[in-house]
Structure 1
Amino acid sequence: MAEPIPLRDLIGRNAVDADGNKVGKVGQIYVDDETGEPQWITVRTGMFGGSRENFAPLAGCRMDGDELVLAVSKDVVKGAPDLDAEGHLAENDNDALFEYYAAFLGTGRARGTGFAGAGDDAGWTAGEAIIRSEERLHIGTERVAAARARLRKYVVTETVTQTVGLRHEEVRIEREPITEANRDAALHRGNLTEQEYEVILHSERPVVSKETVPVERVRLQTETVTEQIDITTPVRKEQIDGLEMVEGTHS
């Protein structure tokens, strides 16, 4: 058996229908004059929490977290008779509500039916129906910040080795024999003398220079990828037991 709905906590809570559509906030709770059982609630259905209150049955209602799930749809509640109860329902107003909601709840149950978990089901007659409800799973997505990516540029030093060819001059001695052909040119120098002759030798040495040049452009780009994940969550639903015969006597 379902746990009773805590009536003292209902007022001010959000009321939704079975599809999750917000109907409004619970305003007042009305009980049957004869049995004292809670029977109707009012739901503020006006725009932005306006003052208009529509009546909805407590029969078949259930709590889902902090929300009251009604047994009828949002449109049905908004189409309910427009009554100004002022804290008490007259007999004809009560009958008008039962007549209206009977078509949607599929029952002609008498007043004082209460709601899910309010008590036993004594007083039901043939042809009446039990509303079976179940939770429907709706999974959406939201965009949240998951990570931060940044580019950081820093300087590193690496050793580079390159081979370069360096030229240098070397001296060698060339000897030319004196022949009849060049004897006259050699004799004009005269007698024996001392003499020095030098040649400047040159060589190349490496000269290193550096320059900074752009070699690459790097930027951050984002792209959206889709991954498939499994969501596992419990979903409740009501079950109805098979027919149970209870013997009894009638006075």
Structure 2
Amino acid sequence: MIDQTHVEALYDCDVIDNRGEKIGSVKRVWLEDGTGKPMWAEVHTGLFGMKESFVPIQQGQVAGGAITVPVTKEQVKESPSMHTDGDHMSDKEQEALYRHYGMTPQARSGDHDRLDGKGGNGRQAAGQQATGQRGQQAAGQRGTARGDAAEVTLSEEKLDVGTRSVETGRVRLVKHTVTEQRNVTVPVTHEEVRVVREPAEGSTGKAFADEQAEITLHREEPVVQKRTEAVERVRLEKDAVTEQKDIKGEVRKERVEVERDDEPRGRR
């Protein structure tokens, strides 16, 4: 059974239906005038959480940061839209919710009957008080009264942003051998024979005898040799680069509102 001790724990917690499916998250808690008992949770539902639906939490169970309610996700999805005025729900609007969820309020006893087949099991009493107007109050902070003064402490969340080192990848140098074709022009020299004739003087050699003279010719041929030499050194170095990152996060902040007992009942 949900009571005032659970109110602060309900904010932003998940709402689970009676089949274990998530309905949405609690954005506001509506309390009953006079008793301050939690009555309804305003839950953001839909694909992008843009729809606001009212879920009965009188018989919900809170555990593990979530509240389980005895209704189905389909019932919540098809619940009537509420147009609350000044954080106040009229009797007509509340009765429409009771009818939708199969709950019939009994103004005299302060109880309500849950109809069979509408998400409950026979007759159950929630112990809620039915007043002339069933306004609800959003959950407030605990205040402290001191003498003629009263005060509450407001808190808010801050974003503490730091950095940590994570591995983003590895870079390595890999050496392998490739073969290329090189064309080099080399000058080469060869000898050729040339016949030179000139007048002879006197008597030389043997007349009318066979003779031969011989000369050796030479030529150059290219000779290819290979040698290995170092031409370049390659290494990897790291440089630290600083850039600006925009970090977004949701933080909660507490606000204070002043309530007066001499104002009409049913206000938050």
TM-score, normalised relative to structure 1 = 0.45
TM-score, normalised relative to structure 2 = 0.43
Q: Which has the higher strand share?
A: 2
